[in-house]
Amino acid sequence: MVLENQIINKYNLTKEIVSFEVFSPTIANKAKAGQFVIVRASSNGERIPLTIADFNSTRGYINLTILKRGKSTNQLGLMEPGQLLNDIVGPLGKPSEIEKFGNVVVIGGGVGIAPILPIIKSLHYEDNYIISVLGAKSAEGLIFTKEIKQYSNEFHICTDDGSLGFKGFVSEFLLNYLKKDNKKINRVIAIGPALMMKAVCSITKNFNIKTIVSLNPIMVDGTGMCGSCRVEVANQTKFACVDGPEFDGHQVDFDLLISRLNIYCNEEDIALKKFMENHKCKMNI
């Protein structure tokens, strides 16, 4: 018998990115593209937000795709099928706005490729013309390429080192594409590191193309109570967990977001070092 919050399958997509199918029928039933959950791996674990990268209401699972960065994501990365996540809260946040926009460029960078998959699927079913652009440091860092290609009308890859596709950042690719392509682009959606989303927005602003980004500030409760996910959008304070996580990228104060993401760097370094020290054997370091 499969239990609620039990890991059904685990896929090591790259050296740093792991993907889990987790049995969570209630969340799978309600989830929509663009939403996220807050997860604790263990009873004394940190609450961390993770996008619902895919969901299947028939089989009752959600997919969580995780970049192993610090203590909590590495702790999750060590979990195996059959184990239980301590708790999962969700679905949280507002779903992505999905309708027939026309020609839509959807950009995913790094682990940000995972959350664009359900968005691309939903846009595809609304009959949009989808130009997907995936970016990673190198070819080994790319995830879900087959799945995303299947739902895209145009499919482009960018790698920083040129090991596959266009050599350079997704923002450089986008600028070239917008300059030379005579298709009218009705909307851009970009999900990835804050610097990437900032660069994309500074380009699309000049072309006057509405651009949606998914913000990833530090979150704790996920219900609009603690204030840790505070972001500035159109000179107003918003809470990404309840007002977002998707916002009009041209209105976002990215510099504030980036500085707030780095507030706890020292503490995070210490926590990761301690964790790695305790799990040396398991992590082969």
Give me the residues that bind ligand FAD (CB under 6 A), please: 36, 46, 48-51, 53, 65-67, 69-73, 111, 114-115, 216-219, 245, 261, 265, 268, 272
Tokens of 151: 């739902």
| Contact pattern from residue 194 through residue 233 relative to ligand FES, giving x for each residue in contact according to CB under 6 A and a dash for the rest | -------------------------xxxx-xxxxxx----
Does the bond joining 118 to the residue before it have cis omega, within 30 degrees of 0? no
177, amino acid identity: Y
CB of 202 to ligand FES, least distance (A): 26
Find the radius of gyration of the CA atoms of the chain: 18
**Binding-site partner at residue 272 among ligand FES, ligand FAD, none, CB < 5 to 8 Å by type:** ligand FAD
What is each CA distance from 275 to 144, 146, 216, 262, 278, in whole angstroms?
29, 35, 23, 20, 5
Does the bond joining 245 to the residue before it have cis omega, within 30 degrees of 0? yes
Choose between 168 and 193: whose C-beta lies nearer to ligand FAD: 193
Per-position DSSP letters for 84-145, written without gaps between them: B-SEEEEEESPPP--S--SEEEEEEEGGGHHHHHHHHHHHHHTT-EEEEEEEESSGGG--SH
Residue 241 is a binding residue for ligand FES (CB under 6 A):
yes
CB of 42 to ligand FAD, least distance (A): 13
**Binding-site partner at residue 66 among ligand FES, ligand FAD, none, CB < 5 to 8 Å by type:** ligand FAD
Cβ 63 vs Cβ 19: under 8 Å: yes
CB of 176 to ligand FES, least distance (A): 37
Choose between 242 and 261: whose C-beta lies nearer to ligand FAD: 261
CB of 102 to ligand FAD, least distance (A): 27
- Provide the binding-site residues for ligand FES, judged by CB under 6 A: 219-222, 224-229, 239, 241
